Structure 1
Amino acid sequence: MTHDRKPAPEQIREARQENPDMRERDFARDLGISEADYIAAHVGAEGPLTARRILPFARELLGLLPKLGEVMSLTRNDSAVHETIGTFGRFMSSGGAAAAFGDNINLRLFFKHWAHGFAVEKRDNDTVKRSLQFFDPAGEAVQKIHLRPESDLAAFEALVTRLISSDQSQTVSTAPYPPAPEDAVTVDNFARRDDLRELWTGMTDVHQFWDILQKINVPRRVAVHCVGEDCAWPLAGDAIDRVLAAVSASGTETMCFVGSRGCTQIYGGPIGTVRPMGPWLNVMDPKFHLHLRTDHIAEVWALRRPIAEGQLSSVEAYDAQGRLVIQFFGARRNGQDEPAEWRAIVDALERRPHPQAA
């Protein structure tokens, strides 16, 4: 999306006045702009939505968030919205990444994708909703932090003052991420299957998985297809529905991962209320909300990876473009094998024939 093809900020605001009820993300897409463009158009504006530009310095942000108290932390991609309610605490950073922890807060952040930041206020009669919103270079949402009634407003204003940008213009520069190269590794042309299998079966920690993919230059979905059916196998299309139903009915604690380009958010604990609504599969628990577009899911796989304490089983879904949508693991304590009840849930899921079978 090039800047000269975008409507002017005042045109964006006028279009919103004519269509005030559509979700902001959907409105921006229909208008041919990014969500960051939409928020930027309201910097300093009067009306129900106003914004201030803040620096997208994720490392410094993590040191300030604990002072806000209870917040709602939101990470999403095109197919899943993951919301946890809790408080930020300690964080660790190294190089271009960080991990943030707290009470019901568990994030992995990748700084190179944090390009734009805003402090946003939305007015609805006497109610004001405040949030911190961050976007990647393409203008897609990376992470949003929404204040709750219990949040500390003085700490919010102090955070905004600390991170306020000298640039308070109403436009942002955005550019799409480059497409995959024509010589990209695919399931059909991937030649290092023996190397993949040797490294996969030799894992002692699930966090080695990313390093393995980088070492042999293979995309995640390609690796899943090619490693062998004893390590990864395809599941029926309704597997995610069945996972949520099973953990809800049994009380088995799970770990649910959803990621944007710049942040992966993790919930660990029980799943209570699961409600289908049209194409959406929803979890509506007091401290965890999940909204999943099941019609976007093209493939579901079960993975089994060795760790020092035993094995880890996961269920993960991909969209039609081969992008990872969501992952589930069984919740476990450090130094222990995964819970037997979680492994039984995974093993009971209906399998599909492996696409690589002869």
Structure 2
Amino acid sequence: MTEPTSKTAEDIRRLRALNPQMRERDFARIHSISEGQLVAAEVGHTATRLKVDMSMLLHGLTGVGEVMALTRNESAVHEKIGVYEGVSVNAHASIVLGEQIDLRIFPSRWVHGYAIEKAMEDGTTKRSLQFFDRAGNAVHKVHARPATDVAAWTKLVSELRHDEQVDTLDVTAYVKAAPEAAPAPLSELRAGWEAMTDTHQFFGLIKKLNYPRLDALETVGEDLAWQLDHAAVEGMFRKVAGTDLPIMVFAGNEGCIQIHSGPIHKVSPMGPWLNVMDETFHLHLRIDHVVAAWAVRKPTKDGHVTSVELYDENRELIIQFFGKRHEGHGERDEWRAVVEQLPLFSTPNAA
């Protein structure tokens, strides 16, 4: 269903001028528009509409030097500073496999693109590339940094420039598909789960057996998935922060998954946010959005691997944490111990 906004581009620009410091996502929600519509309204002013050509974009980004890659959902913002490298483009799934910037991209969700260029009060220019799905939700953003090659950046924007520079954006909501059939029996879920040889087989398994992800965790049995106490989230960060234990942090949306691999150091809670502010990795996690935390054990050919997964009120995955490991090697004992020592969920007994 197409949902054009009742606000004109001029209306949006006028409202934005009254609230210039508000975060884009918050502004869009308050004014009942999508973030994509907010950005589109600036075409001809601070924004340029782009073609979404994945090959041209990703290969072009390898030439611009250091940038900040940002991928988020409603509850987690994942930021990595580095260069785009190790690019592989495919119609169904593309990859950026760099030392710092590590992305799994699903191109069908990348529908609208814009380059934004804003003059700041201190005389600098703030530049970004922003991409949205058909509903106007942000799937990925690239922010220029002081070390970015501005000439290469400008050349890429020119090559991606769309022939039609319009300042409106009609959005089409995604409708969640109903289950095609009843979930398979527990015995089939357990058998398929225990037969896995790679964690990437998990999504195909639960799809084949008609299990939403969280339903599968709740059903399979506590030897393979067990619910954690809410305190486990901050507890996990306390246990790994400042150590040399490398972890993997997966966060994103239907169009892009962004991955951090390595130790974390500076963890700073602030209000409802739990923040990681390291040199090349920033994470902003809304702890108050976490409704369920789970530890999950999946078999691989190198032994089982253990993850911590956080879910929101819609039973959607917010973020995943793994211990970093190399293909052909088992999971680190230190990471497994961290997860297995986290506090378990318990229901208070009735008085």
User: For structure 2, which runs of at least 5 residues remain unmatched after alignment?
Assistant: none
Superposition RMSD in Å:
1.5
TM-score, structure 1 as length reference: 0.93
**Counterpart of 1:59?**
55
Q: 1:180 to 1:31 in 2, by over 3 A?
A: same
1:260 CA drift (Å): 1.4
The answer to whether 1:117 aligns with 2:121 is no
**Counterpart of 2:124?**
127
Contact 2:252–2:258 (CA<8 Å) still a contact in 1?
A: yes
Q: Distance in 2 between matches of 1:257 and 1:100?
A: 14
1:210-251 deviation digits (Å, cap 9, x = unpaired): 221222222211111111110000000122211111111433
Match for residue 266 of structure 1 among 259, 277, 295: 259
Q: Distance in 2 between matches of 1:141 and 1:24?
A: 10
1:322-356 deviation digits (Å, cap 9, x = unpaired): 010010000111210010000000000011259xx
1:8-31 deviation digits (Å, cap 9, x = unpaired): 000100001111121111011111
Q: Distance in 1 between matches of 2:2 and 2:273?
A: 32
Q: Distance in 2 between matches of 1:160 and 1:315?
A: 39
Match for residue 170 of structure 2 among 173, 186, 204: 173
Q: Distance in 1 between matches of 2:234 and 2:66?
A: 30
Helix, strand or coil at the partner of 1:334 = coil
The answer to whether 1:81 aligns with 2:84 is no
Helix, strand or coil at the partner of 2:116 = strand
**Counterpart of 2:247?**
254
Helix, strand or coil at the partner of 2:84 = strand
Helix, strand or coil at the partner of 1:315 = strand
* Runs of 4+ off more than 3 Å: 1-5
Helix, strand or coil at the partner of 2:171 = coil
The answer to whether 1:332 aligns with 2:329 is no
1:160-189 deviation digits (Å, cap 9, x = unpaired): 1111111100011201111443x577xxx6
1:298 CA drift (Å): 0.2
1:96-175 equivalences in 2 (<5 Å): 96-125=92-121, 126-175=123-172
User: For structure 1, which runs of at least 5 residues remain unmatched after alignment?
Assistant: none
* Partner amino acid, structure 2, of 1:109: I
Contact 1:107–1:265 (CA<8 Å) still a contact in 2?
A: yes
1:160-309 equivalences in 2 (<5 Å): 160-181=157-178, 190-309=183-302
Q: 1:161 to 1:25 in 2, by over 3 A?
A: same
Helix, strand or coil at the partner of 2:245 = coil
Match for residue 342 of structure 1 among 311, 335, 343: 335
Contact 1:59–1:98 (CA<8 Å) still a contact in 2?
A: no
**Counterpart of 2:42?**
42
State the percentage of identical aligned residues.
47
**Counterpart of 1:321?**
314
Q: Distance in 2 between matches of 1:157 and 1:73?
A: 17
Q: 1:4 to 1:272 in 2, by over 3 A?
A: closer
Higher strand share: 1
Deviates more, 1:150-159 or 1:171-180: 171-180
Contact 2:113–2:129 (CA<8 Å) still a contact in 1?
A: yes
